[in-house]
Chain A
Amino acid sequence: MKDKRVYAAIVVALACLLPLGLDEYKLHVVINSLFYVMMASSWNLLAGYTGQVSFAHAAFAGIGAYTSGILSVKAGFNPWAGIVIGMAAAGFVGFLVGVLCLRMGGIYLSLTTLGFSEILRIIITNEYEITRGTMGLQVPALMPVYSKTAYFYIMLGAAVLSLIVIYKMIYSDTGLNFRAVQNDEKAASSLGVDVVRIRVMAFTVSSILAGMAGGFYGHYLLLITPEIPSLDQQFLVLSMAVIGGLGSFVGPILGAFTLEILAEYIRGYGQYHVLVFGLVALAMARFSPRGVMGIVSDYKRRRNQSLIAAGELRG
């Protein structure tokens, strides 16, 4: 536990040095990656730890981004205050969707959240007066003088904050309750777990975090489009978490960086990257449901077992 914290501190400290060595474009890719780290990790909290495979996560990022964007453009809000209100809005809607999905599991929950996501996208696209539709809504920056380096540190701070919340949660009693609910709701409730509370809590918290990711990202891009709450985006986030490793803390972080960087290379050959990632994620879900991190931990376990066995043989 202690040295994990030290590792994390070292990684963050090294990350702080990145702007020294990266050009504008590469810094942009890293900022994108940090957005996806927040998205994939908070989706993992919901899907990987409570088993609620929601397709509305990008939609919640959209709620965060549009709430903050519209408030700052139409009502003159400070973007930072806008982001906080956007988080609250995403959390509130997430709470409602969580309640709506309470009696659902598996494919029904996925389809319901997919429907919600599409409805939201259609509303945003059609409410041109407020959202500027597919043209996109121009929003103010987070600082008086635009600076990519400053944005990098802001996104890094947001990502670290988000990850601390997630880490604390999954290694607390609540995290154990999440996993119990994912494994068997009936058994969990027979042992005193308030399944309704746990499921709705996971939806609410992960939606707040998605809203935060969307809010910051929108004010970084300076142009909010229905691309943020799109299904494309949802499938990309899903692929990152599934390939990296559902139900592991590190998996989605690695998945987000790897896939975002790969996407930048593949993008040259047309918009096929989401399709490719989707297929890899499907294969992963079929053959290694716990993703790359699952393969790593299985390998470690087998090696430990054979070491123990070898030790026993020697006496």
Chain B
Amino acid sequence: MALLDCVQMSKRFGGVPALQDVSFSLNKGEIVGLIGPNGAGKTTLFNLVAGAIKPTEGRVFLKEIDITGLPAHRICRFGIGRTFQVTRPFAELTCLENVGVAIINRPRKLKGESWREKGMEYLEQVGLLQEAQTRAGDLNLIAKKKLEMARALASNPEILLLDEVLGGLNTQEIGQAVSIIKGLRDALGITLLWIEHIMGAIMGAADRIILLDQGRKLLEGTPAEVVRDERAIRAYLGED
């Protein structure tokens, strides 16, 4: 039994299809890369799984329980966390408070520890300890992306959906970020579905790759299989 099953998911925006008939599964402890050209429907797929929008057709099962169309906060509490491609910090709150929001809304309450103490652990994990008391709106883009990660982690997810968290980083920073992300799986056992345009990073880290093109799943396989595939090269990888 897979941890997450998406069955024939479709989404149309005012009649225009953004996603058509996409099915896939995530197994516990996997890192799965979701790639594809701009507008392929990757973020839309995230929004459907996380409950931010409702699918036109198709179903989502978490441990065989149907969670299709549930509100986002319930899906979060069931154990699916997500980051936003365009960062959405609580601008007027401090970084620590941003993380705190995720902690206080967990279904299982903290025992003998305040969200402030616990929150510092997550800020440390992504390297934002110094900025704990900084207004999130004052952060630069890279720090905002780190905060997205810290916040999503603080909701204590079993599955984490990462939407282009490496954008804007230099080569050295990418290396650091990738090792943090791998650590989430290796040390914490979090299952990752990860959208990324930086092929060097995602191909090295993922166990499996799903390629979306124009709203459809074009192919799925190991990174080695995907980089050699004619269709992948024509649709996406050939670009750069």
Contact = CB atoms under 8 A, between A and B. Distances in A.
Contact of A179 (B82, B90, B105, B152): B90
Contacts of B227: none
Contacts of B95: none
Interface stretch (A37-45, A81-89, A189-197, A224-232): A189-197
A102 interface: no
8 pairs of A and B residues whose beta carbons are closest in the complex: A192-B105, A183-B90, A187-B88, A189-B72, A192-B76, A191-B102, A173-B104, A180-B101
B54 interface: no
A184 interface: yes
B101 A191 contact: yes
A182 B97 CA distance: 14
Contacts of A188: 73, 90, 101
Contacts of A183: 89-93
Contacts of A179: 90, 92-93, 97
Contacts of A193: 73, 101, 105
A301 to B, nearest CB: 10
A187 B105 contact: no
> Which applies to chain A's interface (DSSP): helix, strand, loop or mixed?
helix
A184 B90 contact: yes
Interface string B72-93: 1100110001101000111111
Interface in A173-231: 173, 176-177, 179-180, 182-184, 186-196
Interface string B95-111: 00100111011110000
A186 B52 contact: yes
Contact of B76 (A176, A189, A196, A247): A189
Given A190-B76, A193-B73, A177 B104 contact: yes
Nearest to A191: B102
Contacts of A196: 71
With most chain B CB atoms within 10 A of its CB, the pick from A176, A184, A187, A188 is A187
Contacts of B72: 186, 189-190
A173 B104 CA distance: 7
B84 A176 contact: no
* Interface residue range, chain A: 20 to 34
A78 B106 CA distance: 45
A184 B88 contact: yes
A177 B115 CA distance: 13
Interface of B: 50-52, 71-73, 76-77, 81-82, 84, 88-93, 97, 100-102, 104-107, 115, 151-152, 154-155
Contacts of B155: 191-192
A125 B77 CA distance: 49
A187 B73 contact: no
With most chain A CB atoms within 10 A of its CB, the pick from B52, B101, B106 is B101
Given A180-B93, A187-B90, A192-B102, 15 more contacts: A176-B100, A183-B92, A183-B93, A184-B88, A187-B88, A189-B72, A190-B52, A190-B72, A190-B76, A191-B73, A191-B105, A191-B154, A192-B76, A192-B106, A196-B71
B88 A176 contact: no
A191 B76 contact: yes
B89 A187 contact: yes
A189 B101 CA distance: 10
Contacts of A182: 92
A190 B82 contact: yes
A173 B114 CA distance: 11
A304 B155 CA distance: 34
A180 B104 CA distance: 12
17 contacts: A173-B104, A177-B104, A184-B90, A186-B52, A186-B72, A188-B101, A189-B73, A190-B73, A190-B81, A191-B73, A191-B81, A191-B154, A191-B155, A192-B73, A192-B77, A192-B155, A196-B71
Nearest to B91: A183
A187 B93 contact: no
Contacts of B51: 189
